[in-house]
Structure 1
Amino acid sequence: MSWLSVSNISLQEKGNFALQEVSFTQQQFQKLAIAGETGAGKSTLLQIIAGLIQPTAGEVRFEGERVRGPIEKLIPGQPGVAYLSQHFELPKFLRVEQVLRYANTLRAADAATLYEVCRIGHLAARPTNQLSGGERQRIALARLLLGSPKLLLLDEPFSNLDRMHKNILKSVIEDIGAKLGITCLLISHDPTDTLSWADRILVLQGGQLVQQGSPEQIYRQPTNEYTASLFGDYNLLAGPLVAAFAKFAGSKVKPKSKHLLVRPEAFRLNAANESQVGTVRAVRFYGSYSEVEVELLGTSVTVKTSEAGLETGNEVRVSLPAAGVWFM
């Protein structure tokens, strides 16, 4: 039996489907992420799992128990499940210590461990109106965790955070699983947040689940151009370039394939293997790599490379290992 089971969930609003027959499972301690564009239904799905929105059809089961929506119970929410909204609020003009004390159900030692995991011990005496956005979010998260949930649902936790606070929160979420034993399910629009963290990724498009798999599968073998676009830059090639590189794809070539999807880092410049001759049209330096625009068989392709010294007008040889191509 699955620890969390989402079965054929649909939600219809004003005659339109916000979610349509979404099904998946999550095992305890499995790190699951949901990706999709704005309006794809990610937040709505999380709120249904938390018991905060009533689905039109389907059911959610958590630890074998059906999650009831707000129409079915007086106080919405599912025991053992905590949901951190993008629009969390803290009581104003209270000290952090007061906010947490009022919510605490743990022993002092366990609470101290939780505060250490959330990196908030130094904030205890600070009034809530004197916290940064990242600090306020970690306080709100700690307040939820004081209720000892088993499943934590995080709705775009990294949005609107600067790089420093984002990295702190990433470490906090890792420790929530490793040190507190709480399973996390999060949604994010930033591929770097999900690819490096998740064991499994679900992709929503227009309220439908269009792909699920490991981060590497989602990134390297997207089911469509929409999924490819969610997880980074890509080249979608057609015409002569498809024929030129088709021999590298082997069994991945579909009978009616017309397009070749290539991540910029999959191309190799001036390698010893078979290649096509192209001309450098632009070079953009990003520190650890350069992004190079190459004109190749009448088409412009983007290549990421660590090769130095490339200049506009240079002739280069472009090759493509088999692992770098995906036909659509």
Structure 2
Amino acid sequence: MSEQDEFLGSVAAIGRRHGVLPEQVTEVAGGVANRGFGLGGALFLRVARPGFEDDLRKESGVIPVARSAGVLTPAIVEYDERRALIDAPYVVMERVDGIEPTEVPVGLAEQLARLHGAERTDLPGVPQDDSRDPWQTVDELAERGYLDLGTAKWLSDWFTRLADRFDRNEPKVLIHGDVAAHNLLAGPDGELRALIDWGDAAYAPRAMDFAKLPLEHVAAILPDYIRRLPTSGTGRSTPQEEEVAAAALWFHLHWGLGKLTANPWPGQRHWTAPRASRILALLRFFTGNPPAPWSTLT
């Protein structure tokens, strides 16, 4: 028996454990960190690929916290890392049908507000994200010849102005970490049905959760997000729209500059994969007459 046949036999055994016949097990293409399988119409199996075992373990702790905060994400039916049935950690979850949205789905602002308002708790494997200094990034790009000195100074000044517009010491919140179209499931009406794949979850600035959405989408949902943030019981003050916008722009600009030195990555579907995409997206956004407060952030 080949290694692949043995693996698929183990997947079938997991299916039978949950009352699913082998012919009802279907592999779903894609997935960098996990291999995914539909188990009939009600369940979904994710098996960690080598090197991503910690991400799946992290998800098993984060998902119940997110669900307790009211976030739409599939419930965990079973998490097993004993390697008794298959030589990898796996998780069986409820299956939610939906499609990858082409526009920002209705309800995303509410879901992010619920998540960021979750009470902080000790979650094993969930890191506290401390971002790099963007001024250092600009200096390094100039030293390596990616930026001329005039442009480097202009960018450094821009970061300094943005730093005055939000609290860089704001308490960290639980973020999803990869809020992008491929991790959102929407119905045919455009309503968000689920936020999936929590392998990048972290305690981090709330604005970081807006860094993988196009700025046009961020600008569209941010007012609703601010309105839906909890106003009591979390021990945190409610930020203003301008503060979150400035911080989100900070991450878009910083990450865009950091990507300039990356190797080309063809064949990827995510809009941030090409190394110049973020910088060109900023150009497109700010030449499109963005609304306040975005128009005041340059």
Q: TM-score range by the shorter chain?
A: under 0.3
TM-score (norm 1): 0.20
Larger Rg: 1
Richer in strand (by share): 1
The two structures have a TM-score, normalised by structure 2, of 0.21
Greater helix share, 1 or 2? Answer: 2
